[in-house]
Amino acid sequence: MTDTAGWQRLIAEQGLELLERWEQGGLEPAEAYRLLVLLGRVEQLPVRAPELEALRDRAARANVTPRLAEKVSLPEGSELLEELSQALEAGDGPEALHTILLDVDDLATALDLLGNNARAVELARRAADQVAKATGLAVPLSGWAEGRLATMTSRSAAVALWKQVAGERALLGRHVVFISHSLQPLLRQAASASWTLEPVSGSGFELFESEGRLVLWLEVPAGSPRPQAIELRLRVGAREGAWSYRASHVEKGGIYVDLGAPEELRQRAVQTLGALPAANEPLEVIAWLTSGEGDDPVPST
Amino acid sequence: MPKADEEKGAPRMALPIRTPWERYAHVLRHLYDPAERWDLIISGLPMPLRPRAIEAGCDAADVRNPRSARFNDAGAACKQHVLTDHDRFYSPAYLDSVASAIRLRRHQLQPANGATLYVGDNGVLTVVGGEKEDAGYVTSAFRVKPRGVPSHAVRQEDFIRAAVDRMKELTVLGPQGGRGEGP
């Protein structure tokens, strides 16, 4: 359920406070831009709310919108799109990505209010295209995006952007990539009291130690949905077991997985397999990545 | 570590960003971003930060364009420099943000993932994880850039207002929107 009333309340409270200060001649440029965005959001609403009607009427009587337009320096759409590109490619956290998406939304909303609908729609469309190309990165924001869509009419300029983000939810649970690496030397070393890890690397993975913990870096092919979970599956002959980790950090081209202390990894392997493999037994270690949430089970295709 | 019986999302003191590679990434992306103007809130912050990091051994392309930076590829001197900046400047600022946000009651629960957002009197928006291994740890901290004003004219008050506005917006909509705490 979406709290559109909370959204309207935010607009009304902040809008009235800023409008009163505007009428007293006291808004700084950033505040003037904020008021412009809030007035634009009033126009987007699909329903009429009395407190927002009052805000709109009061602003119209004072001819606020064109006067605000003279006061503010609108952000450059191209700069916002570049910042969005940075946030998407860097795999920044959902809150930072959300913030820049809202910056784009704000500008589209302000442009729309000022009669520049074509520029506003184009900005939102280009931002939506970027989200689509960064498959899966905006999945955590899809619920919020559905809520935002409920606060605007279908004619609002920012619709394309939030429809794209809301649609990202469809990517959840998709099996993305299958990677197989032999981590047998690692497990054998981990069982040793005098264990020290030499960094291990191979095609598409690196294994290193950081602050007493084992860290696995796995390459993720460009264009894959953002992995959120990893399952480590061990197999020795007929014995097989698996457990899951969260992908703790995503950066360009790969993810980091914190495997814990060496002893924890060894104990998990022992619990899963019953015993560590004998020296002459081949141990297969497979990492499965999914774009599913948390510890969702990984499809065994 | 936070106590297990603490109410989910309840305000509490936070622990620094958990892993070195996340610290590295966040320092490059946020502390070193001149537009975030950390110099307005951290006294003694050695400026300019990016050239300083390059001088310390970081790759210029990674510093200027953090999206291409990879922790594993960074040299030891660069890692040490960036992680020291985390400990000396970045983490005190974001931990102070959490502490003062609790005093100011300026925090909101993010219902979608159990994280809590804080905006302290320094205007840093700090996210503290609420689930699994992230619980109690800072997962992100950044300065929300005020828009509608040229960067040379931006004021600290603009940063605070922008962060508070975004915190409210980020938590008000969504599947369980409107369950935030604080103001």
Closest residue in A to B65 (Cα–Cα):
A86
How many Å lie between the alpha carbon of A59 and the closest alpha carbon of chain B? 19
Length of chain B: 183
Q: Compute the count of residue pairs across chains A and B with CB atoms less than 8 Å apart.
A: 157
B83/A contact by beta carbon, under 8 A: no
pLDDT of A206 reads 76
Percent of chain B with pLDDT strictly greater than 90: 69
Predicted confidence pLDDT, tens digits, chain A (301 residues): 557 889 999 999 999 999 999 999 879 999 999 999 999 999 999 988 888 999 999 999 989 999 999 888 899 999 999 999 988 877 677 899 999 999 999 999 999 999 999 999 999 999 999 998 876 678 788 889 999 999 999 999 999 999 999 988 766 554 433 344 445 556 655 555 555 555 655 566 777 778 778 888 877 765 566 666 777 777 777 777 788 787 767 776 778 888 888 778 778 878 888 777 676 666 666 666 666 443 333 222 2
Closest residue in A to B115 (Cα–Cα):
A95
H or E element that contains B111? none
Predicted confidence pLDDT, tens digits, chain B (183 residues): 444 334 444 566 899 998 898 899 999 999 999 999 999 999 999 999 999 999 999 999 999 988 778 888 899 999 999 999 999 999 999 999 999 999 999 999 987 778 999 999 999 999 999 877 788 999 999 999 999 988 788 999 999 999 999 999 999 986 543 333 444
pLDDT of B7 reads 47
Cβ–Cβ below 8 Å for A3 and B153 = no
B150 domain residue, yes or no: yes
Which of A22, A72, A95 would best serve as a mutation to test chain B binding (most B beta carbons within 10 A)?
Answer: A95
B12 domain residue, yes or no: no
Closest residue in A to B163 (Cα–Cα):
A99
CA distance A141 to B115: 13
- Residue B155 is encoded by which pair of tokens? 């004021």
Cβ–Cβ below 8 Å for B148 and A294 = no
Touching A: B residues 9-48, CB under 8 Å: 18-22, 25, 29-30
pLDDT of B171 reads 92
pLDDT of A181 reads 47
- Residue intervals of chain A classified under CATH 2.60.40 are 175-290
CA distance B62 to B74: 9
The residue type at A211: E
B45 domain residue, yes or no: yes
pLDDT of A184 reads 56
B156/A contact by beta carbon, under 8 A: no
Question: Residue A187: left if φ>0, alpha if ψ -120 to 50, beta else—which one?
Answer: alpha
| Mean pLDDT, chain B, integer | 87
B7 domain residue, yes or no: no
B125 domain residue, yes or no: yes
Give the model confidence (pLDDT) of B139-150 as tens digits.
Answer: 999 999 999 988
- Residue B29 is encoded by which pair of tokens? 């992306």
Which of B72, B144, B155 has its CB closest to that of A99? B144
Which of B117, B148, B169 has its CB closest to that of A10? B169
- ipTM of the complex model: 0.89
B41 domain residue, yes or no: yes
Q: How many domains does chain B have?
A: 1
The residue type at B43: S
pLDDT of B69 reads 85
CA distance A68 to A21: 13
Going through chain A in order, the beta strands assigned E by DSSP cover 175-180, 200-202, 205-210, 213-219, 229-236, 239-246, 249-251, 254-260, 284-290
SS3 content of chain B, % helix, strand, coil (to 5): 50, 10, 40
- Contacts for B5 with CB less than 8 Å, ≥ 6 apart: none
pLDDT of B34 reads 93
A96/B contact by beta carbon, under 8 A: yes
Measured between beta carbons, the chain A residues lying within 8 angstroms of B140 are: 92-93, 95-96
Q: Is the dihedral of CA A106, A111, A115, A118 positive or negative?
A: negative
Its CATH class, for the domain covering A175-290, is mainly beta
B50/A contact by beta carbon, under 8 A: no
A29/B contact by beta carbon, under 8 A: yes
B15 domain residue, yes or no: no
Measured between beta carbons, the chain B residues lying within 8 angstroms of A252 are: 67-70
Cβ–Cβ below 8 Å for B25 and A28 = no
Q: Which residues span the domain enclosing B33?
A: 20-172
CA distance A92 to A97: 6
Cβ–Cβ below 8 Å for A2 and B19 = no
How many Å lie between the alpha carbon of B115 and the closest alpha carbon of chain A? 10
Measured between beta carbons, the chain A residues lying within 8 angstroms of B150 are: 29, 73
Cβ–Cβ below 8 Å for A73 and B149 = yes
B13 domain residue, yes or no: no
